[in-house]
């Protein structure tokens, strides 16, 4: 569920963090994407496999973060590979794809090297082994203890502009994420099922 917090106090809870600084609710549209510093798997070659990625990387770009529950599972590689096939489309829109889970960078590397659909992934796989980013985003599944199947589109100013979460057992549609990115980049009113190149609404 996506939470919306009112701008003025109306008796609703406006602070999603508990006394320990842990986020109990998922961040939503209009909020700032959290600061992070994570190791990531960026290549299949051991000597060049890993890189530390932070909020300071990809400045001035749109960013699409998508998380999955676990490596070496069944649904996850289908959508990860599908995002990989659309990487050029996202790059053409000045957007950087960033995938991630709570698995380590070494598990990511092993998975990439052992799954034929993941060998040539063109985007980093973030390793949130301490669960810090997932907790900050409010997407750490309370029962399974892993990342939920969540997607965030973040604008160049670091503001979340789109959020979605699927059940752990249901893969998402990367083409829909691309469509939403296209719509957001118009900065116009876009009707249901709008596609890039179609007229926007005029008011």
Q: Which residues are catalytic?
A: 76
Residue among 34, 37, 26 at smallest CA distance from 2: 26
CA-to-CA distance for 160 and 145, rounded, in angstroms?
24
Residue among 44, 55, 42 at smallest CA distance from 87: 42
Residue among 127, 129, 109 at smallest CA distance from 118: 109
Sorted by sequence, the CB contacts under 8 Å of residue 85 that are 6+ apart come out as 174
Sorted by sequence, the CB contacts under 8 Å of residue 67 that are 6+ apart come out as 99, 100, 101, 134, 139, 147, 148, 149, 150, 151
Residue 172 CA, distance from chain mean position: 12
DSSP state of 40: E
Q: How many CB atoms neighbour CB 188 within 10 A?
A: 13
């Amino acid at each position: 569920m996506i939470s919306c917090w009112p701008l003025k106090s109306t008796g609703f809870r406006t602070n999603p963090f508990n006394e320990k600084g842990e986020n109990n609710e998922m961040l939503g549209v209009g909020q700032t994407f959290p600061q992070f510093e994570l190791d990531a798997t960026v290549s299949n070659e051991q000597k060049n496999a890993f890189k530390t990625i932070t909020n300071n990387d990809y400045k001035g770009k749109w960013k699409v973060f998508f998380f999955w529950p676990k490596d070496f599972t069944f649904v996850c590689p289908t959508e990860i590979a599908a995002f990989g096939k659309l990487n050029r489309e996202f790059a053409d829109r000045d957007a950087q794809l960033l995938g991630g889970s709570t698995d380590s960078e070494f598990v990511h590397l092993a998975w990439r090297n052992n799954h034929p659909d993941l060998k040539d992934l063109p985007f980093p796989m973030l390793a949130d082994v301490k669960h810090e980013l997932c907790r900050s985003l409010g997407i750490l599944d309370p029962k399974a203890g892993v990342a939920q199947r969540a997607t965030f589109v973040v604008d160049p100013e670091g503001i979340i502009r789109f959020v979605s979460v699927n059940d752990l057992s249901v893969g998402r549609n990367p083409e829909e994420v691309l469509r939403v990115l296209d719509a957001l980049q118009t900065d116009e009113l876009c009707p249901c099922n709008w596609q890039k190149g179609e007229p926007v609404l005029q008011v």
